[in-house]
Amino acid sequence: MENHRQHQQKLSDGGEVRYMQKFRLYETYSKFYMIGRDKSRTYWKVLKIDRLEPSELNISEDSTVFSETESSDILRRIHEGNKPTGGLKFVTTCYGIIGFIKFLGPYYMLLITKRKKIGTICGHNIYAITKSQMITVPHIIMLSKMAYSNDENRYKKLLCSVDLTRDFFFSYSYHIMHSLQKNLSANNPPGLLPYETLFVWNEYLTRGIRNTLQNTSWTVALVHGFFKQVEFSISDRKIILTIIARRSRHFAGTRYLKRGVNEKGRVANDVETEQIVFADAHDGDPMQISSAVQIRGSIPLFWSQEASPLNMKPDIILSKKDQKFEATQLHFENLVKRYGNPIVILNLIKTREKKPRETILGVEFANAVRFINKNCGEIHLRFFDWDLHQHSRCSKATDVLTKLRRVAADALKLTGIFYCHVTRRLGGSIEYSNSVNCVDEHSTAKQANSNKANVDEDRVAKDCLHVDESVDYIIEPLMFQSGVLRTNCIDCLDRTNVAQYAYGLAALGHQLETLGFFESSNIDLDDPIAMEIMALYESMGDTLALQYGGSGAHNKIFSEKKGQWKAATQSQEYIRSFQRYYSNTYLDGNKQKAINLFLGHFQPQQGKPALWELDSDQYCTVGKHGPSSVDSNVRSTIRRSLSDGSILCENDTTIRSMEHINCQHSGKSDQHSLLEVSPDIRICGSDVCHCRQIYSGEFEDPVEDHICYDEHGNAYDCSDVLDVDWPSSSANSCEEETLERSTFISSKNISNELRAEKTGCTRQSESCTKIRRRGQIEVQLNKDTKFTKSFGRWVNHEDGGCFWSKDC
């Protein structure tokens, strides 16, 4: 079995797989033509998009692989055949299709028009988007009045508020949505393609074209989160350190609007963090690669908080609906499926409080872990309860990090890390395979736990790679990670990020020891390498906190460790608390709506309530059947968001807009249909819309079957599920301590301090010559040309070609 771009042919030039990376879009009166090519300019293909359908999407692709000369001749002939209606016109250069979307009127095509390289993994380039463009698919004369309606423009503005130039990244040849170990193993479920994974954010936008063409040649898979790569030297040898954070699209959203778990076991703020260490070949030794994966996610219970302008510390509301912890069990079953056993839980919330808030969840979470361990033998949960805030109040930053690193070291002993050798034969990038014969990463759990796996090198080389003339490398996996550390606090932002840094530092020590750079896995907290990785995790924490919480992370421990002036640190903590409060109270409503629209959780439909008319985002089937009920008295006040039911039902309904796609593919179908829905993002820089984050506060309805335990609860002892040597007390998180010292803050004062930048969203004007002819131009291909008969039939009665540009 080949990888997810199996439709792309292995050409005779060294057997290298070709990936189209650059595209040029042209238009005629009745069609869009996209010409794509690979980096070496030897692999050219043609895509055709119909422009005469006002509300449907018709796409077709010729299966023939053309040469550069043939592709230029095709454009010339199309131009000549369409001269009576204006010929063929160049529209834009792009670097991949983000997807297609429809609101109430026409379809729109989203393109990457500028990109930048942000890193490399095993020779595969990783890119970020620097500019995107939204293009209306139908010709301007085919547009109905609905295309110019206020609702249509409002939907466009809402979509444009998703800023694709921030924290989105992709690769043409590397499965960036998968961990390094998964890319080099056979643990992918049969038929599961990269776009179906939980970390591809444009799965919904690309579903129509992928299902029609049965390939992903023209689209790119966008991952949302964080990517950073740095280089440093040890003993004059270059080390490349990469930190990748992948945010799940399932149950995605903002801080108070997405909490806990939903009925399918998906949790809010679900982020996978991977730390990759790469050492190049040296003195005849092979290249060495190691990775360690950890995750964060909301406490997997049904709970919520109701944001309010009058309360900066909302009460925690715990639902009694799931007495048997079925959703919690589904969540951990999914983690075992993804990472194997054991699942190590590091719970950082408070263990004692005068006024119970976090302890409400702590007691129930411990009960859930006990219940699952007792009743589900296939799930192995290890529960570490560690009150980070209490330790930070009683100890210095160095002591806190030292203790956390001991906890991380215990977790590493249970899960292990991934480690492999890579030997190059001829050079070039390292390809990977999803072959069913590859080594199963979870079948080596015992080897991973001992951290000393010795896999038969010849067997691994033959099983994991297609050992033939086309392969110029040998990969030898020697260790596998089985299981994962799952860290949480209340928001899974500030305290969680400190703990993830401690784990990352401990893992880096093990990785460098395994690669042969250190004799011990212990890295001193004052070592320059420790400070370098602290800066990376601090940057990652700020990025993830902005996406979910609306402000940078509270980095009190990091600031203390770096010796920053205490007054400056306190001032920064106040500002970030105010920013987070303002964003959660006044901005997150529209941000959540934009996320739901981008991810396909809401599909607009004529005759049904608009997205902004709904009082919550619990409109699971609104795209097809409409909402079951809508509150007529829609208010812009903050409403409680419950963790259950706030996500579009996955696999249960067919996206309405995709039902209207009628496309044709002249080649063979090489891939399975991709039929899964799910949803989180930061909000666009495009040629059409230059919108910033303009939100209002329209939130979700309260549900009456939830009980507030604000005035109840006692201190509890979970000693039977703990695995730590030091006791835990309580207090407040760093953020809450800041808020407790502050006086009442009015919304007026906040708005004066933090001005939301309001930038209008400008529509790109579309100009064209008045065309009276609406019929299609018949094209007669030269009988002496080398084009196939299928291509002739494909072009016949369509548009016919143009001046050729060398940039194509």
Q: What pLDDT, in 10s, does the model give residues 219-241?
A: 999 999 999 999 999 888 899 99
Tokens of 335: 């983690």
| Phi and psi, residue 305, nearest 5° | -140, 145
- How far, in Å, are 180, 287, 517 from residue 510 at the CA level? 17, 17, 10
Average the pLDDT over 372-400 and give the result: 90
What is the reported pLDDT for 462?
35
Residue 713 has pLDDT above 60, yes or no: no
Look up tokens 């002036």; give the residue.
565
Residue 754 has pLDDT above 50, yes or no: no
User: How far is it, in rounded angstroms, from Cα 481 to Cα 272?
Assistant: 14
Average the pLDDT over 111-130 and give the result: 96
332 neighbors 344 (Cβ within 8 angstroms): no
Average the pLDDT over 118-132 and give the result: 95
What is the reported pLDDT for 513?
94
Residue 127 has pLDDT above 80, yes or no: yes
Confidence category of residue 704, pLDDT binned at 50, 70, 90: very low
CB atoms within 10 A of CB 234: 13
| Phi and psi, residue 708, nearest 5° | -90, 130
At residue 583, the 3 state secondary structure works out as helix
Confidence category of residue 682, pLDDT binned at 50, 70, 90: very low
Name which residue leads in pLDDT, 198 or 776.
Answer: 198
Residue 649 has pLDDT above 60, yes or no: no
Residue 89 has pLDDT above 90, yes or no: yes
Q: What is the dihedral of CA 366, 369, 371, 377, to 10 degrees?
A: -160
Residue 690 has pLDDT above 70, yes or no: no
**Tens-place pLDDT, residues 305-356:** 988 888 888 889 999 889 999 999 999 999 999 999 999 999 999 998 888 9
335-351 b/e (C-beta count within 10 Å ≥ 16 → b):
bbebbbbbbbbbbbbbb
Least confident of 2-6, 169-173, 542-546: 2-6
Name every residue whose Cβ is closer than 8 Å to that of residue 737 and which is 6 or more positions away in sequence: 389, 731
Residue 647 has pLDDT above 80, yes or no: no
Residue 525 has pLDDT above 60, yes or no: yes
Confidence category of residue 734, pLDDT binned at 50, 70, 90: very low
Highest mean pLDDT among 197-201, 234-238, 661-665: 197-201
Strands of the 59-61 sheet, one edge to the other:
89-94, 20-27, 31-38, 44-50, 59-61, 664-665
What is the reported pLDDT for 548?
95
Name which residue leads in pLDDT, 127 or 185.
Answer: 127
Name every residue whose Cβ is closer than 8 Å to that of residue 643 and which is 6 or more positions away in sequence: 251, 258, 259, 260, 261, 262, 268, 298, 301, 302, 303, 304, 319
Residue 134 has pLDDT above 90, yes or no: yes
Average the pLDDT over 211-217 and give the result: 91
Average the pLDDT over 462-486 and give the result: 67
**Tens-place pLDDT, residues 34-44:** 999 999 999 99
Q: What is the dihedral of CA 428, 434, 436, 440, to 10 degrees?
A: 90
Residue 30: enclosing H or E segment and its boundaries? none
Tokens of 185: 């193993």
Name which residue leads in pLDDT, 108 or 786.
Answer: 108
Confidence category of residue 622, pLDDT binned at 50, 70, 90: very low
What is the reported pLDDT for 711?
31
Residue 592 has pLDDT above 90, yes or no: yes
What is the reported pLDDT for 745?
32
What is the reported pLDDT for 430?
58
| Phi and psi, residue 360, nearest 5° | -60, -45
Mean pLDDT of the chain: 75
Least confident of 179-193, 358-372, 724-738: 724-738
CA 790 from chain centre, in angstroms, equals: 39
What is the reported pLDDT for 509?
95
- How far, in Å, are 260, 328, 364, 410, 455 from residue 381 at the CA level? 18, 12, 15, 14, 27
Residue 752 has pLDDT above 50, yes or no: no
Q: Is 407 left (phi over 0), alpha (psi -120 to 50) or beta?
A: alpha
Name which residue leads in pLDDT, 194 or 495.
Answer: 495
Nearest CA-CA partner of 168 in 91, 231, 216, 99: 99
Residue 773 has pLDDT above 60, yes or no: no
Confidence category of residue 613, pLDDT binned at 50, 70, 90: confident
Residue 645 has pLDDT above 80, yes or no: no
**Tens-place pLDDT, residues 417-466:** 999 988 865 545 555 443 333 444 554 444 444 443 333 433 333 333 33
User: How far is it, in rounded angstroms, from Cα 331 to Cα 261?
Assistant: 8
514-542 b/e (C-beta count within 10 Å ≥ 16 → b):
bbebbeebebeeeeebbeebbebbbebbb
293 neighbors 481 (Cβ within 8 angstroms): yes
Residue 286 has pLDDT above 90, yes or no: no
- How far, in Å, are 58, 350, 391 from residue 716 at the CA level? 61, 11, 18
508 neighbors 531 (Cβ within 8 angstroms): no
Nearest CA-CA partner of 180 in 239, 245, 121, 249: 121
Average the pLDDT over 251-278 and give the result: 96
User: How far is it, in rounded angstroms, from Cα 171 to Cα 165?
Assistant: 15
